[in-house]
Structure 1
Amino acid sequence: MADKVEPTIVVHGGAWAIPDALAAASKEGVQNAAKRGYGVLHSGGSALDAVEAAVCVLEDDPAFDAGYGAVLNSLGEIELDAVIMEGSELKAGAIAAVQNIKNPVKLARLVMEKTHHCLIVGKGANMFAKEMGIEEVPPETLLTDSSKAEWEHYKKYQKTVSDLFRTRGSESSNSHDTVGAVAVDAQGNVACATSTGGITAKRVGRVGDSPIIGSGAYCDNAYGAVSTTGHGEAIVKVTLARHVLFLMEQGLSPQAAAQKAIEHMFQRVNGTGGLIVVNNKGEIGFYSNTERMAWASLQSSTLQFGLEPGEKIVQEYTPE
């Protein structure tokens, strides 16, 4: 276990061509999530509790594609995926293709803590939710006018997945994307969580990277924690989250590892996306090759956040 460190949390609200109409809400949303997660750390809570709390804030925010505000599949239905992991014993839990759970990350944590499995999907995940007493909500309560409008647009014009995750300088898209959080607590324990509603008009039953351990998220107390976002198929092919920690094992800083991993994904599979990372000393990194990525971090009295490539706004913050 690492020496005692300054508790730190980093969150993201997706790497994609975030339109101007969502820019302010995306910035505000990731700041709110970082503050909630840091509040857990500041009061002595664990990194695992912190990332769960932060992701719940993002799942409840309609500016993002997770929980409330999730996008629709080809049949006009919601299918939600989530993962959570802790770095001490490498325990992890994930769910996929769930349609009526308000906060999928909570269900993923129960998979980790109450079963011997790592991933439960579809009908089985809903059966498990009932066993655990997780409230099911009517799927329509998770819909937003924006999600429905996007679905109608993509069904009409048959947009392809390449339109969703354009590289910098490309035409803007109206799709949303994944959310996630990474944290390290005062004891040096790390944790990560990722949650998503997938891609607008995706094939029914399609699962991307988000709930896949090592792709959508990964952590290990020996190095740090990662949460990714972007084109799921590309991320899975290069096991992006685990690749970041591999680079850190080789001696790269969190920031250098983040950039090199994204560049590797683009070179190998023409993949676009982004990621956030924190190491077991509280040093952070973030990088994307999309037009924008909403992110925020909190450590001690310093709040940082950004949206544009290279943007880092620094503010003082006093925990309540």
Structure 2
Amino acid sequence: MTCGTRGRGAVIGAVLGLAVTAAGLPALAQTETPAPTWSLAIHGGAGTIERDRMTPAQDTAYREALEKALAAGSAVLAAGGSALDAVQAAVELMEDDPLFNAGRGAVFTAAGRNELDAAVMDGTNRAAGAVAGLTTTRHPIAAARAVMEKSPHVFLIGEGAETFAASQGLEQVPPSFFFTERRWQGLVQTLRQRGLPIPARPEGAPPPPAVPMADNDPSAPPLNERKFGTVGAVALDSHGRLAAATSTGGTSAKQWGRVGDVPVIGAGTYASNAEGCAVSATGDGEFYIRASVARDICARMAAGATGQAAGQAEVDDALSLGGYGGVIVMDRAGIPDFALTTSGMYRGAVSSAAPARVAIYADEEEQ
């Protein structure tokens, strides 16, 4: 598993092991390992995620959450299941975890709502499904897959997407299901900074706590963390099928029905067996859309680039336009790669040939 960061030119961690260059940067060691028959990689968002702003309890909480998502997806793959089922299982677990900005833990719009977006893509035939602006479907990634498999369409939004999800028997919940106190506090702080009105507390939300949530509460991310919240997964199954899935609550205090790159096929999510790649992105969505990040990574790989080189080139391209973030990439050999232009990205990988390992910070070896 490799991870790149802008300006370092470094390879940080690998399925093949680590050595150290004369410059003191990690490099690939030439140790042989069996080729994986299946492989999974995940992310939980990239951004300004730094050691000195994370308490030990928060660090541990994120690592444990990533490990649980890897376990959910790898259980599917180890049993001979499909890459699609694996990425959905991993993402659904993160959608239910309030640590991540997706599902239960999503940020709020300026109007005080949780509006959820998701996409999934099957690399074998490039079938895809996407949804945006969901407010009552518990698992947006399941809705995206239903769009792909049960409708003639690729992308549904808002009330129509919600009606379709319900018609497919997907679990519906009250909007308050997605409420978390920490994300609400983050919204209030952001609206005050922007001089915008603060909406009424959502109906059904628990009353404000008598004692404000502590900054070092391990059950929640740092309040002031600058994070591009998205969760995602890419996988190769034992039948050689690739798939990608991504889910997000978007950006805090977003307005006017804003939708980012996540549900835009080719921007935040893409998979193609023909090109030998699957990609899930996290970052400044407007710039990722303009740079068509996910699709272009696959094009670079089809032309011979490694996943890490292709991923880093594309996130650097988005950076040149003004955007920051990261990507996870899976190639047809089951090698996961990570590239980012931020100080951290919650991430992890596991395969039939390598145990689960996770990382948070940009300069950290996955372990």
- Please point out which of 69, 79, 92 is paired with 1:33: 69
Query: How far did 1:90 drift?
Result: 0.6
- Please point out which of 267, 280, 283 is paired with 1:230: 283
Q: Which residue of 2 aligns with 1:81?
A: 117
Q: Which residue of 1 aligns with 2:236?
A: 184
**Contact 1:73–1:204 under 8 Å retained in 2:** no
Q: Which residue of 2 aligns with 1:309?
A: 362
Q: Which residue of 1 aligns with 2:342?
A: 290
User: What is the TM-score with the length of structure 1 in the denominator?
Assistant: 0.90
Superposed counterparts of 1:1-320, under 5 Å: 6-18=37-49, 19-21=53-55, 22-158=58-194, 173=225, 175=227, 177-222=229-274, 223-267=276-320, 269-300=321-352, 301-314=354-367
String of CA shifts for 1:10-62, please: whole Å, max 9, x gaps: 00000012351543322222221111101100001000000000000110110
**Contact 2:228–2:284 under 8 Å retained in 1:** no
Query: Are the structure 2 counterparts of residues 26 and 309 from structure 1 closer, same or farther at C-alpha, using a change threshold of 3 Å?
Result: same
Query: Are the structure 2 counterparts of residues 205 and 284 from structure 1 closer, same or farther at C-alpha, using a change threshold of 3 Å?
Result: same
String of CA shifts for 1:241-263, please: whole Å, max 9, x gaps: 01111111121111111111111
**Contact 2:47–2:226 under 8 Å retained in 1:** no
Deviating more after overlay: 66-75 vs 172-181: 172-181
User: Where do 5+ consecutive residues of structure 2 fail to align?
Assistant: 1-34, 197-223
Query: Are the structure 2 counterparts of residues 206 and 98 from structure 1 closer, same or farther at C-alpha, using a change threshold of 3 Å?
Result: same
User: What is the TM-score with the length of structure 2 in the denominator?
Assistant: 0.79
Query: Does the residue aligned with 1:12 lie in a helix, a strand or coil?
Result: strand
Bigger Rg over Cα: 2
CA–CA distance in 1 between the matches of 2:350 and 2:363? 18
Q: Which amino acid aligns with 1:291?
A: S
Deviating more after overlay: 191-200 vs 133-142: 133-142
String of CA shifts for 1:113-146, please: whole Å, max 9, x gaps: 0001000000101110221122211111111011
The alignment covers a number of residue pairs equal to 299
Query: How far did 1:312 drift?
Result: 2.0
Q: Which amino acid aligns with 2:173?
A: V
CA–CA distance in 1 between the matches of 2:227 and 2:337? 25
Q: Which amino acid aligns with 2:318?
A: M
CA–CA distance in 2 between the matches of 1:204 and 1:106? 25
CA–CA distance in 1 between the matches of 2:107 and 2:249? 6
Query: Does the residue aligned with 2:316 lie in a helix, a strand or coil?
Result: helix
User: Which of the pair is proportionally richer in helix?
Assistant: 1
Query: Are the structure 2 counterparts of residues 159 and 290 from structure 1 closer, same or farther at C-alpha, using a change threshold of 3 Å?
Result: farther
CA–CA distance in 2 between the matches of 1:275 and 1:34? 17
CA–CA distance in 1 between the matches of 2:300 and 2:161? 34
Q: How big is the alpha-carbon RMSD for the aligned residues of Structure 1 and Structure 2?
A: 1.6
Q: Which amino acid aligns with 1:221?
A: N
CA–CA distance in 1 between the matches of 2:135 and 2:226? 22
**Contact 1:235–1:265 under 8 Å retained in 2:** yes
Query: How far did 1:276 drift?
Result: 0.2
Q: Which amino acid aligns with 1:118?
A: V
**Contact 2:66–2:348 under 8 Å retained in 1:** yes
Query: How far did 1:5 drift?
Result: 5.2
Q: Which amino acid aligns with 1:75?
A: A
Query: Does the residue aligned with 2:190 lie in a helix, a strand or coil?
Result: helix
CA–CA distance in 2 between the matches of 1:12 and 1:259? 16
User: Where do 5+ consecutive residues of structure 1 fail to align?
Assistant: 161-171, 315-320
